[in-house]
Structure 1
Amino acid sequence: MDRLVWIDCEMTGLDPASDVLLEVACLVTDGELNVVGDGTDLVIAAPEAALDAMVPVVKDMHETSGLTAAVRKSTLSVAEAERQVLAYVRSLVPENRRAPLCGNSIATDRSFLARYMPELDGYLHYRMIDVSSVKELARRWYPRAYYAAPVKHGGHRALADIRESIEELRYYRRTVFVPHPGPTTDEARAASVEIRAETDAAAQPSSSGDGGAERSSPDPATAEATDTTQPAPNA
């Protein structure tokens, strides 16, 4: 199996040292980005002080989405949420540290998993697939594809955001990646040789100008004898 684990978190802020998890959702896909299983979406109870400490933009966002009200009704602890998500992941990905973590700007989510759900974090491979990285490259290399990407409507709820991240990667795979089945082995090897040659050539000092090459100092006597621009003594 070559499955991918998609996780999205909603938090009171972006600092795992002072902010807390409010919602965590998880979906698993196969390598072709087909969703496997039903997924899980859990709202976590949080102290009122943590909700009050949210900055205005985050407070408005979570109130508009309905998350704040759901958090106030929830009795689910972080530990129990971790247990449920990990059980779901293990049911579909039985191999420890095999599946990478996927999502949008996933490093932020992972920092919260590392702090609040360390067993789940440790079960996943250290590598991550960040759709936002693909998006940033598309913006620079294939701007028409970037600007035509599907519009997001997730509304900052975890499970909806995951589904949109999967949709987004499927879109970029179709529009900017090499079509299936990709290059032949010979074509891939030829491209590898060409890229390495370009890299090596770029690393060589330029033959014109300074080029970073060290210049040897001329012999003073030779320089004086050949330099006709020097003024005559006592001129």
Structure 2
Amino acid sequence: MTYVTPHIGPARYVAVDLETTGLGEDAHLLEISVLILDAQLRERASYTTLVHHPAGALNGLDEKVREMHAASGLLADLADATGLPTVAEVERDLLALLDEHQSDDTPIHLAGGGVAQFDQPFLKRTMPNLIARLHYRPVDFSIIRQAYKDANGIELAVPDYEHPHRAEADIRSDVQVGRILYDTLRTAHRAGEHVAPAVAPSTREVAADLIAHTLATGNVPAITDATPDLVEALLDEIRQRAHQPA
């Protein structure tokens, strides 16, 4: 899917993907990719870098994690790299990027696939100043996609984008999924499907309205398909009105 637009709006999302040494609280950041997006998920700016990690951080990698990072080429790239920025330096760069692209006081949300479960907590620990600049509620495309499936009973039709476990490729795939989700939501909105269904009145409210109508007009309305609950509510309403002072 190609998005061509003559205008990119103000920054609204910081879409992020991280490659790390693991999923635990002691994990170290190895690579990060960030896309600054407007409200329509159009790209304003991007930032991707390998990240300096402590000596020995790769020695204790879980075997599956090691195989994943080896297959993606990340370990080889890290071995060849020199002068990599520290986590603090990356955070400084990203704050400067926000300063450049955040044009007003409208909150900017963290976004991506799985960001609520992993990326946001990880960044809270490692880049607290960055997280402090963002809205507390992330926009997690994987949660929206799951909600669509739960509501409709079918998966959203999304191309099988590759996730090669490299930060930039993965976040660009996640954002493509997000664009399809947003298009689906906009289509539903234009079709009127966003309108919340009317809340059905309670049996007690129906009974009260029927009694009030009868007393006001002197006409007893026809009642079809009366349920036992409605009959009981009508009788109870009559009993209560009979005991009210005139």
Do they fold alike, i.e. is TM over 0.5?
yes
Shift of 1:44: 0.6
TM-score for the superposition, normalised by structure 1: 0.73
Does the CA contact (< 8 Å) of 1:152 and 1:164 recur in 2?
yes
User: Is 2:69 the counterpart of 1:45?
Assistant: no
CA contact (8 A) 1:7 1:24 kept: yes
Q: Which residue of 1 aligns with 2:68?
A: 61
Which of these residues, 157, 167, 179, is aligned with residue 170 of structure 1?
179
Sequence identity percentage: 29
Give the aligned partner of residue 137 of structure 1.
Answer: 147
Name the residue aligned to 1:18.
Answer: 26
Distance change (3 Å), C-alpha of 1:68 and 1:201: farther
Q: Mark the CA change 1:104 to 1:29 in structure 2 (over 3 Å): closer, same or farther.
A: same
Question: Structure 2 counterpart of 1:138, which letter?
Answer: Y
**Is the 8 Å Cα contact of residues 11 and 101 (structure 2) preserved in structure 1?**
no
Q: Is the 8 A contact 1:96 1:123 kept in 2?
A: no
Residues 138-194 of structure 1: CA deviation (Å, up to 9, x unaligned)? 223345552x311121301111111111110111233x424176367xx96xx4461
Where 1:50 maps in the other structure, the secondary structure is coil
1:66-85 correspondence runs (5 A): 66-72=73-79, 73-74=81-82, 75-85=84-94
| 2:111 matched residue in structure 1 | 102
Distance 1:35 1:207 in 2: 59
Q: Report the alpha carbon displacement of residue 69 of structure 1 after superposing the two structures with TM.
A: 2.2
Is the 1:114–1:121 contact (alpha carbons within 8 Å) kept by the matching residues of 2? yes
Local SS of the residue matching 2:57: helix
What does residue 244 of structure 2 align with?
none
> Could you tell me which amino acid in structure 2 is paired with residue 165 of structure 1?
D
Residue 51 of structure 1 aligns to a residue in which SS? coil
Are 2:21 and 1:36 aligned? Answer: no
Runs of 4+ displaced beyond 4 Å = 94-97
**SS at 2:187's partner residue?**
coil
- Are the counterparts in 2 of residues 97 and 122 from structure 1 also a CA contact under 8 Å? no
Instruction: Could you tell me which runs of 5 or more consecutive residues in structure 2 were left unpaired when the two chains were aligned.
Output: 1-9, 206-226, 230-246
1:66 maps to amino acid: G
Contact (CA 8 Å) 1:154, 1:164: kept in 2 or not? yes
